[in-house]
Amino acid sequence: MIDSAGRDVVGLRALRFPAFARAVTPRNFHYPAGVEYGAVNVPVVCAGVLVEPGDIVIGDDDGVVVVPKRIVAEIVAAASAFLEGERRFRAMLSRQYVSFGAAEQLKEHGYRFQ
């Protein structure tokens, strides 16, 4: 993840390497010889968001989310509770037919159900 433009998109996709950038550029940036240009396990700000070592960064084609390490347990508990509620709701729906009006609207537009 970089808060800048990236390049070599085709190669990264071929490697199935997850990379996220603000834009794509063909430009190759070179750093002056002898200048240190990188670091590992240091806090960074990306798109205005502080990302610290140990934070969880999750991304897909729709965007990137940063979960701060200090609240991971809280987020896991909340997500687990949400998913359990979804599981119960889907189980209820599978036991009884509830259309929420969607089936009727589809039938009105010519769709058939088998």
pTM of the predicted model as reported, rounded to 2 decimal places: 0.56
Beta bridge partners of 5: 23
Residue-level pLDDT at 99: 65
Domain boundaries, the chain: 1-67, 68-114
Residue appearing with tokens 């159900």: 113
Residues in the chain where the model's pLDDT stays below 50: none
Convert the pLDDT of each residue in 10-34 to its tens digit.
Answer: 888 899 888 888 888 887 766 666 6
Which is it for strands 23-24 and 44-46: parallel, antiparallel or unpaired? unpaired
CATH class of 1-67: alpha beta
Residue-level pLDDT at 95: 80
Residue-level pLDDT at 83: 97
